[in-house]
Structure 1
Amino acid sequence: MLNLAVILRESAEIRPAAPALVHDGVTMTYAELDARSDSVAEGLRARGIRAGDRVALQLPNVPEFPIAYYGILKAGAVVVPLNVLLKAPEIAYQLTDSAARLLITWAGAAGEAAKAAADCGLAEVYVAGPVPDPARPFADLPAPVTGSFPLHATEPGDTAAIVYTSGTTGRPKGAELTHFQLYMNADIPDRLFALNPDDIILTVLPLFHVYGMSSAMNIGIRFGACLSLVPRFTPEQVLATIERDRATIFDGVPTMFGALLACPQRDRYDTSSLRVCISGGDSIAATVLDAFEQRFGVPILEGYGMTETASTISFNEGPDQRRVYSVGRPVWGVQVQVWDCDDRPLPPGRDHVGELVTRGYHTMRGYHRQPEATAEAFRHGWFHTGDLGYVDEDGYLFIVDRKKELIIRGGYNVYPREIEEVLHHHPAVLQAAVVGVPDERLGQEVKAFLVTRPDAATTAEEIIAYCRERLAAYKYPRLVELRDALPLSGAGKVLKKLLT
């Protein structure tokens, strides 16, 4: 028997009076979080939710998220996290595909959620915050509990959460993540940077995304640390919260680190409490990493993972053992190889780029109700990540690009990330995304989308000339488009599928 919610129960028993959450300056202890999630579990059971039933959870980073998340798990049900930015048809698809029996959402998404629930015949909808008809307030869901709610006796291989992929090709697929998989991802990676109960984790990564859910929330709760919840990323809000709560750890994606660097007010805030930053979700540009470490005086440890691995595959082992610009080595119990297009292992070295494949405790059960997609992903007993990279002689992994984002220009392979690294060195460039666009003569042409720094200016012609001096003729972008902003996912990752 293993129920992931045991990480909360045990931390509450060991440190009941310690702070578990802080939000807008208000603190909730471990004893309070455990008790309130118990009440949610009892409320779900009173409404007929049984082991294995799906409960959708569509909340930003507010206390109700962990309260509901661990309550759902305690009841033996399956958490289905939903992005708060989804529109009604997208919500309806995930509710229907997961067969959710109940939805917990928030006021900011209640309108779209209500339409979706009506479309798929879901009557049980609870809203945190101001409640529109016909939904009910979240406060109506919890029920009184005598003593502690007994954790449902789930098996380690039972599904704990169904997390939908970003849907870069076709409709999103629901990755079934198990109790054991999520527990191990909460227990192993954080040991590499010595997380301890006195740490305060600045939690701005969306908890509905696997990175925030697994690598911030579950890790923090597993080791009795405090989560400083920030519902929405803005540079000023994050900097102010680090100062107010004396945060020691900041988990982010590359766009967040870039935005903090570019923030005009950054010098007004005291961020000296930070001892380590974690970057994931996408590859961070070397220039951003170096500049951030120099300005804030804190190391960035880069890791690598994905929804299907919940989330960690590899990680750098602390400031003294990391290999800068790599995504570290596979964490304990995880194997990674680099395969060519014929599924044959490649030797180490940067000249041997191939697809990263992995196996171990960290991989999902499969894609929900999609056996063919599951079989394709797990060819030859290894999970195929769809990421291109190589491994060096010491076992450190280096990500080159997404396999599906590879540009083939006139028969030559062009890796967008290599061009983006060059673009980030330009003093006027704040954000860069490179994609392939159709071309009648060459098959694909290289196009760059840029956001410039507020205090800088450039032109498309200048950028093209800059790249032409630094890249081979078949690599540099012939097309450059300057934009005010790039489309981002709820987790802050650039959505290249929306760039054409």
Structure 2
Amino acid sequence: MFNLAVILRESAQAAPAKPAIRHPGGAITYAELDELSDSVAEGLATLGVRPGQAVGLQLPNIPQFVVSYFGILKVGAVVVPLSPLLKAREVAYSLRGSDARALITYEAAAKEAALGAEDAGVKDVFVVGAPARDTRPFTELPVPVTGRRPLAAREGSDTAAIVFTSGTTGLPKGAELTHFQLYMNADIPGRLFDVRPEDVVLTILPLFHVFGLSSILDVCVRFGCTLSLVPRFDAEAALTAIERDRATIFEGVPTMFVALLEHPGLDAFDLSSLRVAISGGAPIPAHVMDAFERRFGVLILEGYGLTETAATTTFNVSAEERRAYSVGKPIWGTETQIWDEHGNRLPPGREHIGELVTRGFHVMKGYYRRPEATAEVMTGGWLHTGDLGYEDDDGFFFIVDRKKELIIRGGYNVYPREVEEVLYTHPAVAEAAVIGVPDARLGEEVVAFVTLHPDASATPEELTAFCRDRMASYKYPRSVEVRGTLPKLPNGKIAKLELKPSR
């Protein structure tokens, strides 16, 4: 028997009075979190939720997310984390795609959530805050429990969560992550970057995304440290929380690092408590990494993973062992290789770019009720990540780009990230995204979209010339568009699928 919720039970027994959560409204101790989640588990059981059934969890980074997460696990049900930004059609798609039995949502999302739940045939919808039509307030869900509620008996191979992919390359698919897999992806990475009980982790990555769920929430509770919850990303809110809660660890995606660096009031905050930063979700541009480390005086440890690997696949573990600009080495108990299009392992070297494949305890059971989709990404136990990269002679991995984002211009391969890296070296460029668009003569053409630093200026012609002077003629963008903002996914990544040239 193994239930992932044991990480909370153990930490509550070890340090009951320690703050598990700090948030703008106060703090919740480990004993209180254990008790509150027991009550949610009892409420779900009273509702008729049984082990193995799925429950949607559609909340921002507020205490009720953490309470509900462990309550769902404790009753033996499967957590289905969902973005509060989803519209009714998307909610229905996710609830149907996970066979959800109930949904816990947020007042700002309640109207769309209720419509989606109705479409999917989910009758039990609980709302944190003001309920919408055909929903109930979340306060009606918890049922008081005397003493500790026993954890439902689950096997390590049972599904603990169905996490939908971000949909950057098509319709989202629900990856089944097990109790054992999520535990190992908390325990191993937490040991690798030396998480300590006294750590306070800024929790600004959305907990409904696998990075926040596995690499922050599970890691924190496994090692008994404190979550500093910020409901949604905003540079001002992040800096305020670091200062207020004396955060020691900041984990984010590259756009968040850029936003903190760009905040006009940065110098006014006391950020001396930070000891390390962790970047993931997308490759961090070298220019951003260097600027952040200089300005904040902390090391950025970059890792790599995806929903299908419960967040972590490779990691740079320390200042002594990291290789800057790489995503590190495979975590303990896993293997990662570079394969060519025929399934042959490629030798080390920048000239041997291929697809990253990986296998081990971190790889999902599969996509829920999608055997054909699962078979498409699995070969003999190896998961095809869809990411292109290479390995150096010392076993460090470097990400070049997404396989599906590769641009083939006139027969030449153009890696968008390489073009983006050049754009980031221009002093006026704050963010950059490069895509391929259809071209009658060349097959595809290279197009770039950028935002600029405050008070900076640059023309499209200037940026095109800047790239042309620094890369091969087939690589540089023939079109550059300067925009006020770039579209983002809920996890903070740039939403390239939404980028369309204006002409």
TMscore range, shorter length = over 0.9
- Name the aligned partner's letter for residue 43 of structure 1: G
Q: What pairs with 1:246-261 in structure 2 (closer than 5 Å)? A: 246-261=246-261
Partner of 1:347: 347
- Name the aligned partner's letter for residue 17 of structure 1: A
Q: Does 1:445 align with 2:430?
A: no
**Distance apart, 1:191 and its partner CA:** 1.1
Q: What pairs with 1:116-135 in structure 2 (closer than 5 Å)? A: 116-135=116-135
- Name the aligned partner's letter for residue 59 of structure 1: L
Partner of 1:219: 219
Q: What pairs with 1:239-318 in structure 2 (closer than 5 Å)? A: 239-318=239-318
Q: Does 1:199 align with 2:199?
A: yes
Q: What pairs with 1:67-466 in structure 2 (closer than 5 Å)? A: 67-466=67-466
Distance in structure 2 (CA, Å) of the matches to 1:382 and 1:431? 34
Could you tell me which runs of 5 or more consecutive residues in structure 1 were left unpaired when the two chains were aligned: none
What is the TM-score of this pair, normalised by structure 2? 0.99
- Name the aligned partner's letter for residue 243 of structure 1: E
Q: What SS does the corresponding residue of 2:461 show, helix, strand or coil?
A: helix
Q: What whole-Å deviation, never above 9, does each CA across 1:233-260 have from its counterpart, x for those lacking one? A: 1111101110010000001000000011
Distance in structure 1 (CA, Å) of the matches to 2:91 and 2:236? 31
Q: What SS does the corresponding residue of 1:312 show, helix, strand or coil?
A: coil
Q: What whole-Å deviation, never above 9, does each CA across 1:140-189 have from its counterpart, x for those lacking one? A: 10101121111111000000000001123332110000001000000001
Distance in structure 1 (CA, Å) of the matches to 2:98 and 2:232? 27
Q: What SS does the corresponding residue of 1:208 show, helix, strand or coil?
A: coil
Q: What SS does the corresponding residue of 1:291 show, helix, strand or coil?
A: helix
Q: Does 1:496 align with 2:492?
A: no
Distance in structure 1 (CA, Å) of the matches to 2:167 and 2:270? 39
Distance in structure 2 (CA, Å) of the matches to 1:132 and 1:482? 40
**Distance apart, 1:97 and its partner CA:** 1.4
What is the TM-score of this pair, normalised by structure 1? 0.99
Q: What SS does the corresponding residue of 2:488 show, helix, strand or coil?
A: coil
Q: What SS does the corresponding residue of 1:492 show, helix, strand or coil?
A: coil
**Distance apart, 1:380 and its partner CA:** 2.6
- Name the aligned partner's letter for residue 376 of structure 1: E
- Name the aligned partner's letter for residue 45 of structure 1: A
* 2:407–2:413 CA contact under 8 A, matched in 1: yes
- Name the aligned partner's letter for residue 173 of structure 2: K
Distance in structure 2 (CA, Å) of the matches to 1:188 and 1:141? 34
Distance in structure 2 (CA, Å) of the matches to 1:384 and 1:312? 15
**Distance apart, 1:134 and its partner CA:** 2.5
Distance in structure 2 (CA, Å) of the matches to 1:391 and 1:407? 22
Distance in structure 2 (CA, Å) of the matches to 1:25 and 1:276? 26
Distance in structure 2 (CA, Å) of the matches to 1:18 and 1:179? 25
Distance in structure 2 (CA, Å) of the matches to 1:34 and 1:227? 15
* 2:303–2:328 CA contact under 8 A, matched in 1: yes
- Name the aligned partner's letter for residue 176 of structure 2: E
**Distance apart, 1:372 and its partner CA:** 1.0
**Distance apart, 1:121 and its partner CA:** 2.2
Q: What SS does the corresponding residue of 1:480 show, helix, strand or coil?
A: strand
Q: Which runs of 4+ in 1 moved over 4 A?
A: none
Q: Does 1:13 align with 2:13?
A: yes
**Distance apart, 1:25 and its partner CA:** 4.7
- Name the aligned partner's letter for residue 197 of structure 1: P
**Distance apart, 1:279 and its partner CA:** 0.2
**Distance apart, 1:318 and its partner CA:** 1.1
Q: What SS does the corresponding residue of 1:188 show, helix, strand or coil?
A: helix
**Distance apart, 1:454 and its partner CA:** 1.2
Q: What whole-Å deviation, never above 9, does each CA across 1:276-321 have from its counterpart, x for those lacking one? A: 0000000000000000000010000000000000010000011221
Distance in structure 1 (CA, Å) of the matches to 2:25 and 2:393? 48
Q: What whole-Å deviation, never above 9, does each CA across 1:9-46 have from its counterpart, x for those lacking one? A: 00000000000001105010000000000000000000
Q: What SS does the corresponding residue of 1:97 show, helix, strand or coil?
A: helix
Q: What pairs with 1:23-38 in structure 2 (closer than 5 Å)? A: 23-38=23-38
Distance in structure 1 (CA, Å) of the matches to 2:272 and 2:455? 26
Distance in structure 2 (CA, Å) of the matches to 1:25 and 1:64? 13
**Distance apart, 1:111 and its partner CA:** 1.1
Distance in structure 2 (CA, Å) of the matches to 1:58 and 1:37? 16
- Name the aligned partner's letter for residue 374 of structure 1: T
Q: How many residues align?
A: 500
Could you tell me which runs of 5 or more consecutive residues in structure 2 were left unpaired when the two chains were aligned: none
Q: What SS does the corresponding residue of 2:380 show, helix, strand or coil?
A: helix
* 2:357–2:382 CA contact under 8 A, matched in 1: yes
* 2:169–2:404 CA contact under 8 A, matched in 1: no
